[in-house]
Amino acid sequence: MKTKIFIDGREGTTGLQIYDRLAARDDIELLTIDEALRKDVGERKKLINAADLVFLCLPDDAAREAVSLPDNDHTRILDASTAHRVADGWVYGLPELSEAQRERIKAGKRVSNPGCHSTGAILLLAPLTGAGLLAPDYPLVITSVTGYTGGGKKMIAEYEAPDREKGGELDSPRLYSTGASHKHIPEITLYSGITRPPAMTPIVADYPQGIQVIIPLHLPGKTRDVFDALSARYTDNRNIEVRSEGPAFAPCSVNGGTDKVTISVLGYDDIVILTAQLDNLGKGACGAAVQNMNIMLGFDEYTGLRI
């Protein structure tokens, strides 16, 4: 009997891409909802309870509501929203953190998919704090350059509007989400092993997909140690490449093409410059969700991934 999967919120950017990835697979059965009933709580509850695993591709409040809908002990939930990434009782879905984390995901009933910016930042920082190369209270500054699909439906509509003004502010990279603490900072802080929340500056640019997380560190004489720590941590992860030569890629170069993360250890004098390059809708969203699903259901972890 095939494993039954339901995508709650299939109409969104992440939901559509997860559906497209899973529709061609013959090892699962996708449950679908009538378009006219996609907001009907009763119909959604019926499908959620019929599924072995449910993807939540919903706004945060709707995701919190959806978690209350299962009334059985077998439906497992994989939440792609921000709602449960640092919540008690949830497993953080970044298997590359450790083999123990991978086992937690495999056994988890409630798994949260990481954010795209935080995926890059945590993969860069966690091995360094773990190896004692980076003090937990180091004053971190993180810059992320992302394609506009990382900003959700409203931002996508602005950039892809047919009557968009040419030569306007959207044509150039620009700061965004600077009026409040970035939503990914809590998970970066918790899972990177740091005690001081980083200063984070997200930048959006005029291309659809691809993100580059950039972290400069003042670590005199430690460039090789940093490279060795990152290489050793990810040596058994087929979807992560660690490089020691530049220049680092332009973020748009991963535009929809891969579920890999490319880590570069660069720098000059006493400055180490770390970058993590990934597709914000690949390993930063739907690719990570499919990877976590594979782990949870006992499939090969990399089935259906573009690596």
What distance in Å separates the CA atoms of residue 48 and residue 69, rounded to the nearest whole number?
Answer: 7
Ordered DSSP codes for 26-95: SSEEEE---GGGTT-HHHHHHHHHH-SEEEE-S-HHHHHHHHT---SSS-EEEE-SSTTTT-TT-EE--G
Contact 259, 269 (CB under 8 A): no
Q: Domain residues of the chain, as ranges?
A: 3-113+285-297, 116-281
Give mean pLDDT in consecutive 10-residue pieces for the chain, a chain of 307 residues: 94 91 93 90 96 96 96 96 96 97 98 96 98 97 91 86 87 80 90 95 91 95 96 96 75 72 91 94 94 97 93
Give residue 247's pLDDT.
Answer: 56
- Spatial CA neighbour of 194 closest among 223, 215, 163: 215
Choices 1.10.760.10, 3.90.105.10, 3.30.1370.60, 3.30.360.10: CATH for 116-281: 3.30.360.10
Catalytic residue among 57, 116, 252, 286: 116
The pTM assigned to this predicted structure is 0.94
Instruction: Single out the residue of 81, 115, 84, 285 nearest to residue 184, CA to CA.
Output: 115
pLDDT of residue 177: 73
Under CATH, which architecture does the 3-113+285-297 domain have?
A: 3-Layer(aba) Sandwich (3.40)
| Size of the chain, expressed as the number of residues it contains | 307
The pLDDT assigned to 51 comes to: 97
The C-alpha atoms of residue 151 and residue 156 are separated, in whole angstroms, by 7
Q: Residue 57 catalytic? A: no
Closest CA to 45 of 60, 35, 33: 33
d(CA 83, CA 286): 16
pLDDT at 178: 72
Output phi, psi for 261, to 5 deg.
-120, 125
Pairing of strands 271-278, 261-268: antiparallel
For residue 288, the model assigns a pLDDT of 97
Q: Residue 154 corresponds to which tokens in the numbers above?
A: 């409203």
Token output for 56: 């939540």
Task: Check: CB of residue 222 under 8 Å from CB of residue 133.
Answer: yes
Residue 251 has a pLDDT of 67
